[in-house]
Structure 1
Amino acid sequence: MGTAGDILRRLGPKASVQKVIQKFESTFEAVDTKETILRKFHASQQLDSESIAGYTSRVDEIYTQAIKLGGIQMGDEDSLKSVVYQGLKKEMKQRAAYKFDIISDYDKFKIELRKIEQEMKTEKPEQKKCNAAVNIEERKQTDMEEVKSLLGKLNSRIDILEKERIQLKEELRQNAQQLTYQQYAGQHQPLRYNFNPGGKNNFNRGGGNNLNRGGGGRSDVSYRGQGRGNLRYQLRRPVAYRTFTPTCYRCNEKGHMQNECPKV
């Protein structure tokens, strides 16, 4: 979009006024519809840094556009005054409520609004009090943010300590299991068989007791039984008088045959 000077330069010095106006309208005129301009009109609000003169001029311009588009009838200043009043800043609106009720003329109502605006500018002590309240509120907000930040750091530190505690507990548990396994493995070493062709053949449990065969010597092996002590088990070859004892079929007693029964 070019500026107004660029448009005039392109039209040239011989362009008519009607042609210039037509170009300006096609380039800069608002393209709002009746519905959009009415929504904009009724939603008008005074900005924080906007004066009464600037605010009312802006609303008047929207009002004029709405009339051109057929959204508002010419001379409907009651609607214009109502929209201007409803869009005032809160404090200004409170002070202008009485003037809005008693003054029907729109231009006179604008004059009263400018008077109220001037009175508010001269009330500097009250303005300072408002600033002090704002500063106190900002300081409270800053203190609250610092407290939240400190609590966040404390929570993070607590989480780290909790993780370290769980990790240490797990390491202690694993070390205890490893120590128990080592003790168990030391007490339950497997048997090892040593074969000597010309001498004794030994079963050794960790270099301890032996099971010896051959050489005519005594053979034994260590046996871990109930409790914590060790029992010595001796290997013996079975003999006849232990493995076979005769039983008498007459008296059913052992130690003799029926033909030698003393009860006959």
Structure 2
Amino acid sequence: MRASRDGVIAFSLKFSLKLGAKQETRLAEKDLLDDNMIHSSSTSSKAKIATVMMVQTTSLEEQIASLTAAVGNLLKHDQTRDDQLNKLHDKLKSTPANEFEGKIFQLHAIQAKEFLSLPMDFSVEHVKNILNEVIEKTYETRGQAFKSYMKPYTKRIEQLRMPENYQPLKFQQFNGRGNPRQHIAHFVEICNNAGTDGDLLAKQFVLSLKDAVFYLYIDLEANSIDNWDDLQNKFFSIAFTVLDVLLA
């Protein structure tokens, strides 16, 4: 009995020692696993931070590149504007006054004359500002002229319909030189052959004018022409006025 009891005690001690060793091994493995997890987590966090920093750096580089490009475009725009102003200056300086026709072109001539009479000690920036004002006023005047323009003939003439299959006719264009009565005769003959006679003549007549006669015609009072006879009277008055100027 005693031997049996001693064997049981020895077995129990041996089992306890093995169990304790296994527990220590498991604890050591757990600590190692925890260390690995902590290291892995730390490495992952560092990788994420590095990625964010790379993205932020890339974004910053893109912003710098974008700003650099924008500055370059502004400088290029300024240079282009300077070149345009210099060309406009040269053009105004070299254009003869007799090439300006009509009210819009008269504005060009007047402003060009004012520009050329400026003192030569004006700064470049001052001259550019004046040129800018000239350009803006010119475009503004043109816009108002086209926006407010009304045809010299009445709405009744405007609403007259051309024949079916009508094709725009080719007319001899009258510029004030020559016989205005002969011009009327040729114009009427062409329109009659095309079946666009009567008051339709008044609707087409502007196509047969050019240069100073054309500008004086479109400057007639709105709705002042209601038939072909009205137009002929206006035209003869314009034609003889231009002829007097040409012969003076």
Say yes or no: TM over 0.5.
Answer: no
Q: Which of the pair has more CA radius of gyration?
A: 1
Greater RCO between the two (CA within 8 Å, min separation 6)? 2
* More helix as a share of residues: 2
Give the structure-2-normalised TM-score.
0.35
